[in-house]
């Protein structure tokens, strides 16, 4: 928590008066007053990707950079002072997008460090897309990385639960965090029960093409009783930006029972020089898949349009719910 340093020239009378007034009404200081900046309530120790850290408890000025945390912060009633507005989901964050008091810090590809610094955050929630900028962020303010990763113990989904619990501790929202975690656990358990070893193709649709999305949404099937027809071997999590040249005929030959689809263009629009085409239109129009099991039985699960931009605990709760509903309905 930042301390307030008063100039030595402040007279004793002012000091006495300050005891009976709100701090912001007191004499001049070298820095903005706590009420102008927001005032945290002590410190709390948490585990981060960089080890144990002491951070402000209930920080008043939060820069939220990790998109996987956005919905959780909203659920906690947190209004950030800075966010990467280009990474905000299309729906549900209009208030953050249109609020001029919330500074836009660009994206992880083109971060605006000056805007972040100007927001004077008590705490910066980094990690995930902003992982590579961690050292620069720490020079601006106290920075934590509690984002989920594929390398986390027990995997990405388990890391979502840890992230939520940790943020609950930071913001004094332990009960709400437990509620969010419990919802994911139930949805995950329901999805596990509904899957019985079916073959599935994890797809990413972008620029009118369908490619292997196992590297990005394989996290979803890790705890489930499903067999991926294509693995993520040789790919990294950014493969959603690439075109591997996967032929539709290859998928037809593998003949998966189900397809689970991430529609990237629905979240961020088409790549430059290409046209956005809805995933459903691509998949239903692919002649090579006319006789596949997933097409003939209509066994395709389309993840929420904003999944690519959220990827947090609520996104996975919803996705597990979709899987459970679809698989149970298919018998």
CATH number of the domain enclosing 305: 3.40.50.1980
Q: Are residues 201 and 301 in the same domain?
A: yes
Has residue 253 been placed in a domain?
Answer: yes
Has residue 182 been placed in a domain?
Answer: no
Percentage of the chain surpassing pLDDT 70?
A: 83
Q: Are residues 16 and 81 in the same domain?
A: no
Task: Give 75-114 pLDDT, tens digit per residue.
Answer: 999 999 999 999 999 899 999 999 999 999 999 999 999 9
Domain tally for the chain? Answer: 3
Q: Are residues 164 and 242 in the same domain?
A: no
Q: What is the pTM of this model?
A: 0.84
**Least confidently predicted of 26-40, 238-252, 295-309, 316-330:** 26-40
Q: Are residues 202 and 294 in the same domain?
A: yes
Task: Give 129-146 pLDDT, tens digit per residue.
Answer: 999 999 999 999 999 999
SS3 316: helix
Q: 159 is in which domain, residue-wise? A: 40-172
Q: Are residues 238 and 318 in the same domain?
A: yes
Q: Are residues 8 and 62 in the same domain?
A: no
Separation CA 266–CA 303 (nearest Å): 10
């Amino acid at each position: 928590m930042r301390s307030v340093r008063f100039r030595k020239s402040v007279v004793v009378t002012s000091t006495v008066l300050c005891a009976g007034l709100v701090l912001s009404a007191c004499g001049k200081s070298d820095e903005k007053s706590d009420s102008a900046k927001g005032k945290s309530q002590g410190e709390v120790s948490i585990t981060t990707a960089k080890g144990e850290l002491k951070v402000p408890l209930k920080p008043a000025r939060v820069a939220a950079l990790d998109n996987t945390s956005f919905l959780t912060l909203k659920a906690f009633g947190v209004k950030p002072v800075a966010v990467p507005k280009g990474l905000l989901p299309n729906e549900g964050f209009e208030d953050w997008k249109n609020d001029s008091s919330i500074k836009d810090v660009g994206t992880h590809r083109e971060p605006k460090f000056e805007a972040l610094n100007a927001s004077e955050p008590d705490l910066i929630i980094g990690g995930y897309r902003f992982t590579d900028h961690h050292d620069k962020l720490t020079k601006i303010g106290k920075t934590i990385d509690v984002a989920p990763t594929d390398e986390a113990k027990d995997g990405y989904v388990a890391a979502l639960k840890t992230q939520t619990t940790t943020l609950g501790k930071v913001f004094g929202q332990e009960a709400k965090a437990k509620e969010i975690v419990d919802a994911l656990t139930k949805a995950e358990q329901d999805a596990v029960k509904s899957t019985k070893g079916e073959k599935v193709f994890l797809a990413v649709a972008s620029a009118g093409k369908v490619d292997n999305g196992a590297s990005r949404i394989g996290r979803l099937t890790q705890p489930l009783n499903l067999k991926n027809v294509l693995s993520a071997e040789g790919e990294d999590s950014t493969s959603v930006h690439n075109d591997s040249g996967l032929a539709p005929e290859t998928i037809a030959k593998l003949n998966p029972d189900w397809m689970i689809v991430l529609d990237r263009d629905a979240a961020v629009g088409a790549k430059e020089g290409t046209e956005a085409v809805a995933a459903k239109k691509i998949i239903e129009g692919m002649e090579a898949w006319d006789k596949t099991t997933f097409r003939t039985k209509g066994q395709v699960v389309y993840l929420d349009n904003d999944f690519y931009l959220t990827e947090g605990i609520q996104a996975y709760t919803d996705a597990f719910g979709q899987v459970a509903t679809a698989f149970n309905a298919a018998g």
